[in-house]
């Protein structure tokens, strides 16, 4: 029976007969013997297999056992005299499924730049770093589902194709079935006639599932989304992707206090889960990528998050006398440098900022009694700044209609959203977490394109 290498390294005992399948990482030969390291992606470490020259077809097999070749090795486990390994596999049979030409296989035993690895995204997950990233990503996704499922939340699948711009930023990808070489025009020829398109109106790839999650929360109370979202933002930075995954819980009968408390509990949970599930990978990131990875995780898990208002944050930034690139003034949004100062330098731990000015936040956020601020909250973390953004939603129909009117949002476009306030409205709140952003934060990886298998960015849609 074939076993995963991670299990063998933990629990395998001498004299056990086992079979492994995987890919050759390294090969070295001594007189009458060959040593190969086989890795199946289940752990950072591979298992060393020793081939004796007495094996049938030894020379033929050896010729095809190059780095990158796929193999099946059967044999008996034995104690390993080598440093840093407990057991090894004494091979009794070896089957090569597919060889790899050493003259053309791009992943040889040397360090490759992440920029180069992005050009071979179909192979880069076989490297130590990207393999560790994907295992951490998997553990983080598992933790997210486990956290919400254990609390009785329902996972809802919100649409990828939508007619609404939830964030109001206008950075949307249009979805169309029209012939782009011969688009139908309106009668006055002023614009494309999207009434002739597949959906009978203009449609987009979603930027957020929040509005639809609110619909579901009005029936199931506590729900969450976890799926792909899209931004047509022409940004070539180390923190932006055109396609990324978002986690968005939505809770009925919940206010801003419950929202921020859940956000803190949520972040602590997923960091703790990943540390417990992927200790070898996290140690690797701490040693090879960023030596503050484990300290950052500890800071998240073992500190009570600071809570301040936006107004208090502005006062603290002004009193710091620190020279910032962007101005600090009540009414302006906090920039990454401001957020990082608060979390990294001032409080030295995560900070939750609430009650932002109404003029810089979305229409759906609940207006506070001062009529100047909304019940919004951002979780700021050291080294990254904002990692979670959320709010209590505006549940009062008249206030929401006024907000939409002030922002020139046609009510007929969101008639169904307004209906939620007509029929059984309740206080409710939620937040959003960019999944790749948190994986990047956890691992210390410098570029967000290296924490998703196939990154989508301006002028980049390969693989």
Q: List the 161-162 sheet strands across, edge first.
A: 161-162, 203-205, 174-175
Distance in angstroms (rounded) separating the CA atoms of residues 259 and 253: 11
Q: Is the dihedral of CA 328, 329, 334, 339 positive or negative?
A: positive
> Does residue 328 contact residue 314 with C-beta atoms inside 8 Å?
yes
Structure-token pair, residue 391: 């709010």
> Does residue 278 contact residue 135 with C-beta atoms inside 8 Å?
yes
- The pLDDT of residue 235 is 82
Q: What would the DSSP string read from start to end of 371-419?
A: SSEEEEEEEEETTTEEEEEEEEB---HHHHHHHHHHTT--GGGGHHHHH
428: β partners: 252
> Any idea where the domains of the chain sit in the sequence?
5-98, 125-170+207-450, 173-204
Lowest mean pLDDT among 164-178, 299-313, 335-349, 399-413: 164-178
Quick: pLDDT tens for 332-376.
999 999 999 999 999 999 999 999 999 999 999 999 999 999 999
Q: What is the mean pLDDT of the chain?
A: 95
- CATH class name, domain 125-170+207-450: alpha beta
pTM across the whole model: 0.95
Max mean pLDDT among 58-62, 265-269, 408-412 falls in 265-269
What's the mean pLDDT in 302-323?
Answer: 97
Structure-token pair, residue 323: 């020279």
What are the C-alpha distances in Å from 339 to residues 41, 175, 290, 391?
37, 35, 21, 18
Quick: pLDDT tens for 178-207.
999 999 999 887 889 999 999 999 999 999
Distance in angstroms (rounded) separating the CA atoms of residues 34 and 53: 8
Q: For the domain bounded by 5-98, which CATH number is listed?
A: 2.40.50.140
Quick: pLDDT tens for 260-306.
999 999 999 999 999 999 999 999 999 999 999 999 999 999 999 99
- The pLDDT of residue 342 is 98
Structure-token pair, residue 94: 């070896």
What's the mean pLDDT in 152-178?
Answer: 87
Position 164 confidence tier, pLDDT thresholds 50, 70, 90: confident
Q: What would the DSSP string read from start to end of 214-251?
A: HHHHHHHSEEEEEEEEE------STT--SEEEEEEEEE
- The pLDDT of residue 366 is 98
Task: Say yes or no to pLDDT of 167 above 90.
Answer: no
Q: How many CB atoms lie within 10 A of CB 361?
A: 19
Quick: pLDDT tens for 221-248.
999 999 999 999 888 888 889 999 999 9
> Does residue 217 contact residue 251 with C-beta atoms inside 8 Å?
yes
> Does residue 86 contact residue 80 with C-beta atoms inside 8 Å?
yes
Distance in angstroms (rounded) separating the CA atoms of residues 306 and 351: 5
- The pLDDT of residue 169 is 57
- The pLDDT of residue 111 is 85
- The pLDDT of residue 13 is 96
Quick: pLDDT tens for 415-460.
999 999 999 999 999 999 999 999 999 999 999 999 999 999 999 8
């Amino acid at each position: 029976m074939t076993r995963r290498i991670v299990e063998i390294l933990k629990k395998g005992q001498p004299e056990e007969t086992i079979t492994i399948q995987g890919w050759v990482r390294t090969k070295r030969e001594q007189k009458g013997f060959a040593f190969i390291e086989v890795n199946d992606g289940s752990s950072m470490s591979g298992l060393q297999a020793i081939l004796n020259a007495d094996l049938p077809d030894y020379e033929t097999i050896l010729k095809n056992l190059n780095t990158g070749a796929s193999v099946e090795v059967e044999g008996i486990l034995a104690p390993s005299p080598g440093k840093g390994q407990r057991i090894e596999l004494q091979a009794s049979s070896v089957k090569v499924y597919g060889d790899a030409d050493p003259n053309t296989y791009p992943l040889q035993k040397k360090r490759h730049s992440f920029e180069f690895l992005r050009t071979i995204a179909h192979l880069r997950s076989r490297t130590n770093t990207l393999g560790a990233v994907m295992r951490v990503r998997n553990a983080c996704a598992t933790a997210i589902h486990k956290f919400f499922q254990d609390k009785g939340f329902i996972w809802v699948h919100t649409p990828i194709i939508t007619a609404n711009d939830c964030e109001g930023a206008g950075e949307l990808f249009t979805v169309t079935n029209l012939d782009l070489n011969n688009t139908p025009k309106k009668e006055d020829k002023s614009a494309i006639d999207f009434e002739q398109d597949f959906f009978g109106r203009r449609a987009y790839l979603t930027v957020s599932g929040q509005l639809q999650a609110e619909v579901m929360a009005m029936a199931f109370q506590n729900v969450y989304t976890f799926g792909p979202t899209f931004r047509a933002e022409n940004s070539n930075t180390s923190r932006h992707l055109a396609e990324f995954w978002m986690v968005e819980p939505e809770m009925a009968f919940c206010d801003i206090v419950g929202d921020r408390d859940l956000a803190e509990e949520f972040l602590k949970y997923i960091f703790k889960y990943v540390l417990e599930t992927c200790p070898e990978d996290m140690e690797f990131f701490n040693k090879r990528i960023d030596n503050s990875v484990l300290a950052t995780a500890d800071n998240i898990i073992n500190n009570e998050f600071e809570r301040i208002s936006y107004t208090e944050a502005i006062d603290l930034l002004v009193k710091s006398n620190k020279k910032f690139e962007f101005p600090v003034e009540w009414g302006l949004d906090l920039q990454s440098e401001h957020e990082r100062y608060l979390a990294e330098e001032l409080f030295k731990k995560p900070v939750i900022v609430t009650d932002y000015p109404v003029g810089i936040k979305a229409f759906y956020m609940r207006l506070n009694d001062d009529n100047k601020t909304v019940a919004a909250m951002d979780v700021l973390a050291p080294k990254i700044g904002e990692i979670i953004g959320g709010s209590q939603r505006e549940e009062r129909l008249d206030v929401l209609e006024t907000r939409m009117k002030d922002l020139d949002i046609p009510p007929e476009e969101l008639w169904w959203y307004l209906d939620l306030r007509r029929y059984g409205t309740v206080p409710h709140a939620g937040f959003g977490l960019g999944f790749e952003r948190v994986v990047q934060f956890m691992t210390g990886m410098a570029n967000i394109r290296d924490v998703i298998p196939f990154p989508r960015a301006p002028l980049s849609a390969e693989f």
